[in-house]
Structure 1
């Protein structure tokens, strides 16, 4: 079984309109929410073996908060420009290239691609909020085989989720 967690970057800072989009950092709310979500995943014993991350500053900063919480697990990290505002198909293509020795993969990226991927894998979601996490399990041993036919809902959590609990 393969486990995929899609993580939207935390809230970004919009105070400098001349800053290129790719270089926008996290806002204060993002700096608060990213570690909170990382701690929730850790508390639920969800441990990434690998993190695949867009190279946008806000996405890297979000992933760094998760890496700090998961320091003892020492997950691999791969940063790629290809995930910056990637389509759902492009994200899925990258996920399918994951080595089969990895069972739990976290992908840090952007909307609308992440929300579109959730929907294309068979779940209904209007919008994955900033710092939101959506998880799937796949009934396969090979990443290249994942898709709607073998996807099942695992979890959905986000910072304003007051009923967050163990999954």
Structure 2
């Protein structure tokens, strides 16, 4: 069994409108949300062994804050340039080339690619939009990541910060 947590970066700052997209950091709300969702994952026993993230500043910060909240070592974080401006084939390749000994991984990146990727993997449940710091979890009944195919994932859960704050 393999578990994939597709996570969009947390809310980014637009305080400096001339800052290149890649360089945009998280805003305070984004930092709070990333810590909260990391604690939620840990509390609910959904801790990935590996986090593969876009190297863009907002995604990197999200990955680091999530890892810290889950007590993951920094060695569990991997930054892959192809996640930043990813096509579906790029994301599929990242997931399917993971080592078989890894049972759970998180993929942190950007929309619209992540929403499209989530929909590519799950057959019966579809997502309109993965919000900032949202987590779409999918389970695969395979022993090796390379055996994952389109529509082969079973939807597990969809969590996002506002779902919890609005209560």
Distance 1:69 1:82, change over 3 A: same
Question: Which residue of structure 2 aligns with residue 62 of structure 1?
Answer: 62
Distance 1:163 1:70, change over 3 A: closer
Extract unaligned runs of 5+ from structure 2.
none
- Whether 1:17 and 2:17 are equivalent positions in the alignment is yes
Question: Which residue of structure 1 aligns with residue 146 of structure 2?
Answer: 144
Extract unaligned runs of 5+ from structure 1.
none
**What is the CA deviation profile of residues 54-101 of structure 1, one whole-angstrom value per residue up to 9, with x for unaligned ones?**
000000000111111122x43622111110021222111111110111
1:126-145 equivalent positions in 2, closer than 5 A: 126-145=128-147
Question: Which residue of structure 2 aligns with residue 7 of structure 1?
Answer: 7
Question: Which residue of structure 2 aligns with residue 91 of structure 1?
Answer: 91
More helix by share: 2
Distance 1:159 1:144, change over 3 A: same
Instruction: Report which stretch shifted further, 2-11 or 79-88.
Output: 79-88
Aligned residue-pair number: 163
Determine helix, strand or coil for the equivalent of 2:163.
coil
Distance 1:69 1:163, change over 3 A: closer
- Whether 1:159 and 2:161 are equivalent positions in the alignment is yes
1:72-111 equivalent positions in 2, closer than 5 A: 73-74=72-73, 76-111=76-111
What TM-score does the superposition give when structure 2 sets the normalisation length? 0.92
Distance in 2 (alpha carbons) for counterparts of 1:20 and 1:158: 26
Displacement of 1:147: 2.1
Determine helix, strand or coil for the equivalent of 2:162.
coil
Distance in 2 (alpha carbons) for counterparts of 1:41 and 1:69: 9
**What is the CA deviation profile of residues 130-150 of structure 1, one whole-angstrom value per residue up to 9, with x for unaligned ones?**
000000000100101112343
Contact 2:52/2:78 (<8 A) preserved: yes
Distance 1:149 1:114, change over 3 A: closer
Please tell me the root mean square deviation across aligned C-alpha atoms, in Å. Answer: 1.6
Distance in 2 (alpha carbons) for counterparts of 1:80 and 1:97: 13
Determine helix, strand or coil for the equivalent of 2:64.
helix
Distance in 2 (alpha carbons) for counterparts of 1:13 and 1:152: 34
